[in-house]
Amino acid sequence: MCFVRNMDITYSPGLTMAIPIRNNTETEPSYSREIQAYKARILDETVRKNNAFEAVLKDAMSVAPTLDKEQVQTLLFTMRMQMNERLFRVVSGDKHDSDLVRPFQAFMKPNITGYLPEPSASKIRHEPQKNDDSSLKDNIDDIISNAAERFSVDPDLIRGVIKAESNFNRNSTSPKGAMGLMQLMPETARDLGVKDPYDSYENIMGGTRYLKGLLDRYDGNVDRALAAYNWGMGNVERNPGKLPRETRTYISRIKQYYFDAKA
Query: Where in the sequence numbering do the catalytic residues fall?
Result: 165
How far apart are the C-alpha atoms of 13 and 17, rounded to whole Å?
10
Contact 195, 212 (CB under 8 A): no
CB-side exposure of 151: number of CA atoms within 13 Å?
A: 29
Q: Count CB-CB contacts under 10 A for residue 52.
A: 10
17-to-5, 11, 13, 27 alpha-carbon distances in Å: 17, 7, 10, 27
- Residue (of 111, 104, 226) closest to 163 by Cα position: 226
Angle between helices 245-262 and 155-166 (to 10 degrees): 130
Burial class (CB in 10 A: 0-12, 13-18, 19+), 215: buried
Under 8 Å between Cβ of 251 and 223: yes
Q: Which H helix or E strand runs over 101? A: none
End-to-end CA distance of the chain: 108
How many C-beta neighbours within 10 Å does residue 5 have? 6
Please tell me the distance from the alpha carbon of residue 91 to that of residue 16, in angstroms, as a whole number. 55
206, 193 contact by CB (below 8 A): yes
C-alpha–C-alpha distance, residues 34 and 29, integer Å: 9
